[in-house]
Structure 1
Amino acid sequence: MNQKLFLTTSKNVARRLTELFDFVWPTAAAIWNLRWQVSGLMAVNPELTHDELQGRFVGGSGIRGANLRKACIDSTWEDQQQEFARFLLIEFCSLYEAWCEGSLAELGQAATLSKDLQFPSSTTNGTQRGISRATAVINGSQSAILTAAIHQSLLSNRKYSLPHLEQLLICYRYFKEVRNSLVHGGGSPSTSFINAEAAYAALSTTDLGVKEIPEYQPYTQGSPIAVSLRGVVGFGDIILKLVCTLDIEFSKSTAAEGVFISRWKSVHGQSPVVIAQNPHDRETRIRKLVRKLNLPKPATSDAFLAWLSANRLIV
């Protein structure tokens, strides 16, 4: 994944998302197994004390305060999946918010665009809002050089989902409003949540470009908002698609030129790199230098070489 993204912020967020994907199901399986072992032991030894349970399952781990009876006997598996899903939901939303702020800072764009990156497109009193406004501002001026040399190479990222961008953000809004209701509303729905759920419920797998729509539990009036562990994990993949799609789109902006130049100088030094004049050796050398920036192999051209030279990156 690192080789198919442009911004350092994107690489870091994608790495963290991958780590969470690798963590979630083995951890859920471990919790399930612990429940089975504790309940089985208690079934044949119902008089076991708290300390005996701790010694059997927690001793030597360094963990303190684990109430195994409450966790494995008094709480249902559904309750524990809900808790796990809530933790992940908050983390996924925070990661996307961090990506919005970090990518804008890296590109030298206004921090106020962060909100637009978190909403599908809309128009209020003739003013454009949401993702269309953000992309119009950031990509309003495009780099023909980076579009040909870098952007085209990034398009092979399998998470790139530009045709589904608006729908991905409708999905994001639903799960973000769930998160907001759980964190700020005590599990009670807001008007924003109700509207976001209605918009999300209308989406299909084709709309999102996925095999399975992230599962959700429709809100029932009078009941608390519930989340699905499977659905939240699916939402994590939606976040990854958003990050990859927007990163790749922004790689063709003129703002991305500054990112490229800054990273080149950080890796290769402030002085121009001396390049061989032999065309084959020169092309090979350029590709290696770009690869050291943690970018895919560029499409080299006379125009790209001239741009590198004009910016005092090579001589």
Structure 2
Amino acid sequence: MQRFFFAESRSFGYRVNQLFDFIQPASVALWNLRWQVQGYVSAVPGATDAELAGRFSHGAGVRANNLKGVCIDTPWEDQLGQFAQIVGANMIALYEGWAEGLLPKFGNPKRATDVQFPTRGKYGQNTRKGVGNALAEVHSSGISTEMQKAFFSKYSASKKYSLAHLDALSALYRYHKEIRNSFMHSGGLASDRAEAAWLEASRLTKADIGGKSDPILTKVVEGDPITYRIEEAIQLADVIIRLVHTIDSELMYTSYAENHFMELWKGTPGAVRLRALPGDPRKRKLRVDQICKALGFLAPNDPEAVIKLGKNAGLLDFA
């Protein structure tokens, strides 16, 4: 289950689910279409492209003019490679969009790019700031002790939270990002940056990335065509989800996050109406849980920290 603090992160999670809700049945549907077309052509060897299109695409709103080429002449592995490119390109776009939507709110628009690189000095990244630098700068701008007490243990409890592996995951992300760039800008021929990113990623182990298996990689040589497999794209999705979970959790106890939380509280009538706190500790905890739920957050680990925030802002008082 994906549990994110920021709305941008929750939107990212929703979009990832949408992507795989399309890719998974679409790939299964193509697999079955291949068998159906192959079976039909086996029974009717003289079937024309028009006949196949009429039989298999009627009512779809899309005319399939080359079903023999798609379902008979094209190897399944090649089509899985196409699905892999779709998954890879979309996952990277979702990560970029998430970073551009959230990170500039912490004071520096360049951090949206920083979180796409390992920390400076790690995994061959020596010329620019990276994810660790971005988080350190944000934390140095202000930490909220109350937000940390209230929520951090809840949001960092996800199995996807991977602070110890953040730089290695970022290095693996760079491999996929440079492959994506080579497909988009070089006709699928590997760039020098793609080869360099592969070289760094090829040194990673499952211990480095905190995974159950080693990184799934295909050797990249500058100027050669790139082969990209669905297994790689699936691993990329996991890498990016872990990056978002980790960064989201590390940002939720900042001063900005506290201000964001309090502004939502002040602007949510349903939460404001719950201002009277019961004297009974158990009922008081339930009331705080209700407030956080009304704001779209998990129940806090430490309700007293939320009570302190609410009382300081004049949003809570004892009944």
Residue of 282, 293, 296 corresponding to 1:294 = 296
1:300 CA drift (Å): 3.5
Q: C-alpha separation between the residues in 2 aligned to 1:218 and 1:205?
A: 18
2:227 corresponding residue in structure 1: 226
1:153 corresponding residue in structure 2: 154
- Residues 18 and 214 of structure 1: is their aligned pair in 2 closer, same or farther, counting only changes over 3 Å? farther
- Residues 128 and 177 of structure 1: is their aligned pair in 2 closer, same or farther, counting only changes over 3 Å? closer
Q: Which has the higher contact order (CA 8 A, sep 6+)?
A: 1
- 1:40-66 Cα deviation digits (max 9, x unpaired): 211231211122111221112222244
The one-letter amino acid paired with 1:104 is L
1:239 corresponding residue in structure 2: 240
Q: C-alpha separation between the residues in 1 aligned to 2:272 and 2:208?
A: 49
Q: C-alpha separation between the residues in 2 aligned to 1:314 and 1:108?
A: 28
1:204 corresponding residue in structure 2: 205
1:221 CA drift (Å): 5.9
- Residues 143 and 222 of structure 1: is their aligned pair in 2 closer, same or farther, counting only changes over 3 Å? closer
- Residues 221 and 195 of structure 1: is their aligned pair in 2 closer, same or farther, counting only changes over 3 Å? closer
Percent sequence identity is 33
1:155-174 matches, within 5 Å, as 155-174=156-175
1:184 CA drift (Å): 0.9
Unaligned 5+ runs, structure 2:
none
1:71 CA drift (Å): 1.0
Q: C-alpha separation between the residues in 1 aligned to 2:222 and 2:147?
A: 51
2:259 corresponding residue in structure 1: 258
Deviates more, 1:296-305 or 1:8-17: 296-305
8 A contact 2:191–2:223 mirrored in 1: no
Query: Would you say how many aligned residue pairs link Structure 1 and Structure 2?
Result: 312
1:60-71 matches, within 5 Å, as 60-71=59-70
Q: C-alpha separation between the residues in 2 aligned to 1:73 and 1:169?
A: 39
- Residues 66 and 303 of structure 1: is their aligned pair in 2 closer, same or farther, counting only changes over 3 Å? same
Q: Confirm or deny that 1:309 pairs with 2:307.
A: no
- 1:240-274 Cα deviation digits (max 9, x unpaired): 00000110011111111122112223333796752
Q: Confirm or deny that 1:268 pairs with 2:269.
A: yes
1:61 is paired with a residue of what secondary structure?
A: coil
Q: C-alpha separation between the residues in 2 aligned to 1:18 and 1:305?
A: 34
2:284 corresponding residue in structure 1: 282
TM-score, length-scaled by structure 2: 0.90
1:217 is paired with a residue of what secondary structure?
A: coil
Unaligned 5+ runs, structure 1:
none
- 1:43-93 Cα deviation digits (max 9, x unpaired): 231211122111221112222244212211232212211211111111010
- 1:290-313 Cα deviation digits (max 9, x unpaired): 122221111335453222121233
Q: C-alpha separation between the residues in 2 aligned to 1:304 and 1:285?
A: 11
8 A contact 1:213–1:234 mirrored in 2: no
2:253 is paired with a residue of what secondary structure?
A: coil
